[in-house]
Amino acid sequence: MSGPIDRTVMWLTWRQLFARRRLWLAIVFALAPLLFTLVFRVVGDDGPESRLAFFGGLDRDVVVGTLLPLAALLFGSTAFGGELDDGTLVYLLLKPVPRWKVLASKLVVAVLSTLAVVAPAVLLPWLVLGDSDVSGRTMLACLAGAAAGAAIYVAIFVALGLANRRALVIGLLYIIAFEGLLSRTVSGLRSFSVREFSLSLTKAAGAATIVSGDTVSTATVWWMGTIMLVGAVYWSFRRLVHYEVAERA
């Protein structure tokens, strides 16, 4: 097959990303919002408005604010990270497959894996709450916003995984310090926050009922989001094409 995606590289990446421990973590991430929703139904359900408010809080803070960046970090930084560490990347580089195809295949798998965690995290609570209080349109808007965020986050974390062996720690600090604190408190930094992009797109896609108030303008999201996405992918491409196996010390 001669498209930009190599199926064998994708297969290998699936196997890498869902190796035992990560698979369990992914399942926990995907099901945690469902658990919260069940608890809410039992102890905190005060009618339609509270259900909408609950779903909004769940999407903004739990899914987009926490699970999305963590899942993207988990899969993005592992897409190359493990192979660089133990040297097994050479087995892909020593094959008649251009390096940009290796990168494209791994990016696609990491984004799909992140979506596989985020989609049930949005969909299952919505099914429990029922579509009379939270519209299907709202739920789809949340999915769309999360998908866009997944693409940008994964691009950033794949680049980070190619740049540094401690990508997981650095990425975690970035998520906590920048996405969690700085971009929320320093207004000038909001136009650099993937979380803000994701929420702005969720609102624009039709979920104004749960993402209210001031968000980054859609134009800013398109510009900055595209620049960050393309920039990170291009940087990874350069890095991989110029990657040289260092001689063992």
Partner 1 sequence: MTTVAPAEQSGLADTSVPARAHVELRGVSRWYGNVVAVNNVSFTLGAGISGLLGPNGAGKTTVLHMLAGLLRPSAGDVLIGGEPAAGNPNVYRRLALVPEREAVHPFLTGREFVRMSARLQRLPDADAATARAIALVGLADAQDRKVGTYSKGMRQRIKIAGALVHDPPLLLLDEPFNGMDPRQRLQMMDLLRELAAAGRVVLISSHILEELDDLASNVLVMVAGRLAASGHFREIRRLMTDRPHTFTIRSSDDRRLATALLGDATVFGIEIAPAGLVVRTTDRGAMTRGLPRLARDAGIRLLEIRPTDESLESVFSYLVDR
Binding site for partner 1 (CB under 8 A): 6-9, 11-12, 15-16, 19-20, 86-88, 90-99, 241, 244-245, 247-248
CB of 165 to partner 1, least distance (A): 15
d(Cα 226, Cα 169) in Å, to the nearest integer? Answer: 25
Q: Which residue number, 43 or 94, has a Cβ lying nearer to partner 1? A: 94
CB of 168 to partner 1, least distance (A): 18
| Alpha-carbon torsion angle 126, 205, 196, 225, nearest 10 | 130
Radius of gyration of the chain (CA): 19
Q: Which residue number, 2 or 185, has a Cβ lying nearer to partner 1? A: 2
Structural element, H or E, at residue 204: helix 194-204
d(Cα 114, Cα 68) in Å, to the nearest integer? Answer: 7
CB of 2 to partner 1, least distance (A): 10
Q: What are the Cα distances from residue 209, in Å, to 65, 120, 245?
A: 18, 21, 52
CB of 201 to partner 1, least distance (A): 36
Cα torsion 82, 88, 5, 241: sign: positive
Q: Which residue number, 103 or 150, has a Cβ lying nearer to partner 1? A: 103
Q: Which residue number, 222 or 243, has a Cβ lying nearer to partner 1? A: 243
Q: How many residues does the chain have?
A: 249
d(Cα 166, Cα 164) in Å, to the nearest integer? Answer: 5
Q: Which residue number, 42 or 94, has a Cβ lying nearer to partner 1? A: 94
Q: Which residue number, 9 or 168, has a Cβ lying nearer to partner 1? A: 9
Q: Which residue number, 96 or 188, has a Cβ lying nearer to partner 1? A: 96
Note whether 186 and 101 are within 8 A (CB): no
The token pair that represents 211 in the structure block: 């993402």
d(Cα 49, Cα 192) in Å, to the nearest integer? Answer: 32
CB of 120 to partner 1, least distance (A): 24
